[in-house]
Structure formats: structure tokens, C-alpha cells
Amino acid sequence: MKKILLIDDDEDDQLLFKVAIKSIDPTMICDTSTNGKIALDKLKVSTVLPDLIFLDLNMPIMNGFDFLVHIKKEDQLCRIPIGILTTSKNLLDQERTKEYGAKFFLTKPSDFQILCGKLREILSIDFSNDNYFSIK
């Protein structure tokens, strides 16, 4: 896995995520978008697609749920694995995102070392099958 996209409107979370990814694998490319619409528009014209998308749920303009619905309609994009990285602990959110095709659901940890450990675990997963992975 060499390219990741984080869709999250919180700039502090974006920075923390990027630092965590670089500490795990300095060769990995990490792009960001502040909402689902911007991300979808970029992805539609991108020549190099991400290997994995991390998606927040609560964002302005296009939230994570709407992004999941829209990306599944795009032939070139619908096979990119998407996982949820959010502050939500809501079981209904977890079930709903799973129904919409998310590969995993991770509530944002407040500790940097825990975040790094969870990301390391996620980056080691083979997303080529259709399984849903519970990250605890």
C-alpha cells in the first residue's frame, strides 16, 4: 500500500494522521480532503487512485455516509477500500457504514501511540476480499 486518502474536515486530525502514517511508513503518500464532495471531485479526475481511503462521518457539504453512497456509483472508484475513522461510537453508524460498503470502522483514539498501532494493524489487512474488519 503506497497511497492513502484521508477525508476529514478537522485539520488537527489530518495533521496527526499524516504524522502517524509517516512514522509507520515514510514512503507512503497521504493526501487529504476536507469533505466528501471535494474528495469525490478529485478522485474522478485523478490519474493515480489511493489504495485505501479513511473517511470521517461528520463533515460539512458531503458527509461520510453520502460519500459512501456516491462513490459506489462510480465504476473507476467503487473498488477502492474505504474505512471509517470517526469520533462516533454509535453502533447504528457502524452498521450503516458496513451496509454502505465500508471495510472497517475505527473510533478515533485520543492517544497517538494507540492511533499508530491501529493504523499499523489496518495497513496490514488484505482488503482484496469482501470481509468487514472490526478494529477494536
Q: On the CB side of 109, how many CA atoms lie within 13 Å of its CA?
A: 13
Quick one: pLDDT at residue 82? 94
pTM above 0.85, yes or no: yes
**pLDDT score at 136:** 57
Across the chain, how many H-helices and E-strands are there?
5, 6
Number of CB atoms found within 10 A of residue 133's CB: 16
Show the cell assigned to 96.
Answer: 450503516
Helix ranges (H only) for the chain are: 11-24, 36-45, 64-71, 91-99, 112-123
Contact (CB, 8 A) for 36 and 63: yes
CATH number of 3-134: 3.40.50.2300
Check the CA dihedral 103-135-86-1 and report its sign: negative
Nearest partner of 123 among 79, 85, 90, 88, judged by Cα: 85
Q: What is the pLDDT of residues 1-54, one digit of tens each?
A: 689 999 999 999 999 999 999 999 999 999 999 999 999 999 999 989 999 999
Tell me the pLDDT tens digit for each residue of 50-97.
999 999 999 999 999 999 999 999 888 989 999 999 998 888 999 999
